[in-house]
Structure 1
Amino acid sequence: MKRLIFTADDLGLAPETNAGIERAHREGVLTAASLMVGEAGFEEGLRVARANPGLAVGLHLTLTDGVPVLPAAQIPGLTQKNGRFRDDMAGLGLLLALSPMARAELAAEVAAQIERFTATGLVCDHVNAHKHYHLHPLIAAALMQAAAGAGVRCIRLPWEPGSLVRAVDAASPGQAEWALKPWCATLRKRALNWNLLAPERVLGLAWSGHFGVDRLLGILPLLPDGVTELYFHPATQGGFAGSAPGYAYAEELAALCDPRVAEALAGIPRGGYAAMLLPKPLPPLS
């Protein structure tokens, strides 16, 4: 059976993302959101999560282009002089490979973000990482271990079938599928070792920030059976602090709220990660 997860990243980033995510859930088809626990909009994002119990909320682990939970002085290998995370993802990735101290800092910050999420009292539906930084093997290992220790059961592994994307938009850029598909398959096996499950495919990488209604309506009839995650960046407008240049935030929000999308989804199960991925308990014996 076809089962779908509609996720919004960046809950907790800014007022514009928080308001957009709440509207996309209440007025549209959004079923899940990933919460950034170190950003300026965290408290308001938490209010959105608590006010909308039907929205499955997970952790959007942030290790670049953001603010750490731990004091920057405790994790100097991960941060800049301004207290924010380093933005040179390749450079930090190399440091993690070479430095045991940096790996210890990584483990501490990942644990701190998990702990801040747990302290909210919310059930953590899933984990993923900002800019999919958990594709780095050491970040993936730290996140999987911390998530499993906190009782989380689901994770995003961002493999996107290029054939589906090109069937809707032949000009869409490729995502180095030759490398990403086998690597995500390896990560899936490692996740299973931690009792973590992932959707079979994810859509939104090639169209990140530009997943508009035409693309959404085009892709829905093509989705195969199994669990597919479609992820978005809805916000009421762009240009806010922390926004990505060129992202069409309001267009993605409009796509999620378009009545034609809701009509196309009639009869198709959709929900959060746990609802779509985890087996339901057997009924009691009569």
Structure 2
Amino acid sequence: MERRLVITADDLGVDPDTNATIVELLREGLISATTLIPVACAAQDAVHRIRQAGLPAPRLHLTLSSSREMPPWRPLSPEVRSLTGRDGTFPVDAGVAERGATLTDLTTELFAQLRWMHQAGLQPTGLDSHSGSLYGLRGRSLATAAVDFCAAHDLDFRLPRTLQRTVTLAVRGLRRAHRSAVQQADALRVRLPELLVSSWLPGRMVLSYGQLRTEVLHQLRRLPAGTSELMLHPSPASAAQWLPAAEARKRLWELRLLRDDVFHRALQRAGIEVVPAW
């Protein structure tokens, strides 16, 4: 049974210290991919660091909501009013886009963020969604529209073929919408990961580094055949300046996990090959 894993650090572009940390992880081979938020305040800094280091382009981390801890982010396309508040910025609530976005506005902003990366000299090979705003986690899935966009622009899509059972139980109708999007992806030959692994608990519920490592390793031992993805948000200690204490601590532990020999030996013992894409 061949099992492969993309190890991804999300949220490149959120701040310069996080950018530096993620680029260092890439250069050391401790992660195999990253994702870039084009609307974030340090996105241009991230582009500079990636290009200066000669690293592959990040995936497009489509963003339709603002960070609670930072000044609001703005869309890259004007007049996408179904995605913004009255002040023209993305709301903090990631469900606003899910509940009210027109497909025209969604596609317009998708293209604007992809074009920004192209103009920055980056050619992303995949698309995923900041705060899960495409997946129907809050009641309305936009995943099929995202699949159509990926097919039109030759992008992979972070939509796991298998959903965590706790997610499908919590969100009514998600299983049907997910199945429809996977079938559409297969019909259009859009590549998907088999399974998505992460430390899923909020920071306040992650009480120790050992708990976080155990949670992740437990999921990795159950990986199916094919290519899955481990998604983390590694951040340096300076993230405590802008994140709530529990969330900053969790992200620092995720960084620790990526540098942990126990974690890497576990992958080797399980015969899991680390790859850059699914």
Q: Which residue of 1 aligns with 2:40?
A: 39
Q: CA deviation at 1:130?
A: 0.8
Aligned pairs (5 A) from 1:66-215 = 67-70=73-76, 74-96=79-101, 102-136=102-136, 139-152=142-155, 154-158=156-160, 159-162=162-165, 174-177=166-169, 180-204=174-198, 206-207=200-201, 212-215=212-215
Deviations 1:95-128 (A, max 9, x none): 33xxxxx432222111101111222232312111
For 2:214 and 2:53, locate their aligned partners in 1 and report how far apart those are by CA, in whole Å.
28
* C-alpha contact (below 8 Å) 2:18/2:235 kept by paired residues: yes
Q: Which residue of 2 aligns with 1:165?
A: none
Match of 1:134, SS? coil
* C-alpha contact (below 8 Å) 1:31/1:56 kept by paired residues: no
Match of 2:154, SS? coil
Aligned mate of 2:275, from 268, 271, 279:
271
* C-alpha contact (below 8 Å) 1:65/1:86 kept by paired residues: yes
2:65 is aligned with 1:64: yes
Q: CA deviation at 1:91?
A: 4.4
The 1:92–1:160 alpha-carbon spacing in structure 2 relative to 1, beyond 3 Å, is closer
Deviations 1:242-270 (A, max 9, x none): x4673211110110111222222235321
Match of 2:178, SS? helix
The 1:44–1:140 alpha-carbon spacing in structure 2 relative to 1, beyond 3 Å, is same
For 2:169 and 2:56, locate their aligned partners in 1 and report how far apart those are by CA, in whole Å.
31
Q: Which letter does structure 2 place at the counterpart of 1:70?
A: L
The 1:7–1:208 alpha-carbon spacing in structure 2 relative to 1, beyond 3 Å, is farther
* C-alpha contact (below 8 Å) 1:188/1:197 kept by paired residues: no
Q: Which letter does structure 1 place at the counterpart of 2:196?
A: V
For 1:245 and 1:120, locate their aligned partners in 2 and report how far apart those are by CA, in whole Å.
34
For 1:64 and 1:235, locate their aligned partners in 2 and report how far apart those are by CA, in whole Å.
20
For 2:153 and 2:244, locate their aligned partners in 1 and report how far apart those are by CA, in whole Å.
31
For 2:141 and 2:163, locate their aligned partners in 1 and report how far apart those are by CA, in whole Å.
22
How many residues are aligned here?
A: 255
TM-score normalised by length of structure 2: 0.79
Consecutive unaligned residues of structure 1, counting only runs of 5 or more, are 97-101, 163-173, 278-286
The 1:55–1:268 alpha-carbon spacing in structure 2 relative to 1, beyond 3 Å, is farther
